[in-house]
Amino acid sequence: MPTITFIGAGSMVFARKLIGDVLSFPALADSEIRLMDIDERRLSQTARVAEAMVENEGLDATVLATTDRREALDGADYVLNMINVGGEEPFENEIRIPERYGVEQAIGDTAGPGGIFRALRTIPTMLDIARDVEECCPDALFMNYTNPMSMLCRAMFEATDVETVGLCHSVPHTAEAIADYLDVPQDELDYWVAGINHLAWFLELERDGEDLYPALREAMTTESVYRRDTVRFEMLKHFGAFVTESSHHVSEYLPYFRTEAETIAAMHGEGYAERMPTGTYLEGWTARSASRDEPTIEESLDEVGVERSEEYASRLIHSIETDTPRRFNLNVSNETDAIANLPNDACVEVPCAVDGAGVRPCSVGELPTELAAFDRQHVAVYELAVDAALENDREKLHRAVKLDPLTSAACTLDEIHEMTEELLDANDAYLPRFD
């Protein structure tokens, strides 16, 4: 009976999905589910849904809800992290202040000024959690879902002894998109993917031993297909590989697509010519915040059931608990040189073999030079940003933002310096002190 702790369980929709995933496996249906959040009302809602799942499905699982993090972690086998630190105000600052300087972030939670400042306000809480894990459940596997994935995982690798992996659904979602473009069943695709989170690359793409890249290149010549994924098809055309994040999101990782209004409109198709798609995740998150503050489950608890989503966490736990071999793309330390031409202290997203022995990153060798170049630049940004957070180093923070590809394409160095100082002032209440 594994004990599985969810930190940030007040994120009811996502927590509900992950709890249902766990309980969908008979071998995990007697798990002890521990839910922790600092928001008692949202925590209570998630707990009621989890209890309804157990009752309606006749399962042997137990559910504990608590605002005491150490109680939730005591003796846990697995810890799933899905926290949000700071809420709406700093997030809006991280989008709108750079926007005034011409930095048009699409999502702004994993890269760019928005991702860097989100990391700065989240890392101290992550390290607090890690200290509790080290004392309360030192052998637990810590599975991180919180963004910015690469920076938070890197901080955990550098500053803690907690075994940490980062989970992101961009690889299976990209495989689903490719299968759709090629009109083939997704479960018939074979692929080998590696890089960093949101900038990993389909190095091999096959079906029954046949290379599917020629068919994908042919598919993108159809205008209706091309318009569905413009940025990724442009990267395929110019650099030879398909990347693992949506065109909208990955556009902010690159210097080519978000510095001119005409290019933004052209790359994002119909409906965007009148309104440039900047800060769309912020706008959606803000719109959803009102519903998060209202009761949402009163009428449907007797209908709550268990379903399995595409998320990795439950399958990873099941593989370890039942010694069932599976392969996942996970965010892990490159200390084993899984990607030979990226730094060995980087957080990389690579295929990992998982079974009863745990998580083992696979060796990928070297990425093609041109693909490694994109990843190395972000790895350098992440290193500086994490060091800035761990060392309270203001100068490293400035250099991290100045190295960001989108920011440096849009602004002068002096403008970036001024923008960073403005962000520090605006989000002062949410940040550690910087020297």
User: Which residue from 144, 9, 49, 77 is spatially nearest to 317, judged by alpha carbons?
Assistant: 77
Say if residues 344 and 334 touch (Cβ distance below 8 Å). Answer: yes
CB 391 within 8 A of CB 376: no
Joined tokens for residue 94 = 């991280």
Which run of H or E residues covers position 329?
A: strand 326-333
Query: CA-to-CA distance for 353 and 319, rounded, in angstroms?
Result: 10
Q: Would you say 398 and 116 are in contact if contact means Cβ atoms under 8 Å apart?
A: no
d(CA 361, CA 331): 9
User: How many angstroms separate the CA atoms of 309 and 195, rounded?
Assistant: 24
Pick the catalytic residue from 169, 173, 249, 417. Answer: 169
Tell me, letter by letter, the H, E, C secondary structure of 30-64.
Answer: CCEEEEECCCHHHHHHHHHHHHHHHHHHCCCCEEE
The per-residue DSSP string of 242-263 comes to -BSS-HHHHGGGSSSSSSSHHH
Per-residue b/e over 362-399, b at no fewer than 16 CB within 10 Å?
Answer: eebeebeeebbebbbbbbbbbbbbbbbbbeebeebbbb
**Among 357, 364, 362, 356, residue whose Cα is nearest residue 327:** 362
Residue 199 CA to residue 182 CA, distance in Å, equals 22
Give catalytic status of residue 169 as yes or no. Answer: yes
By annotation, the residues acting in catalysis are: 169
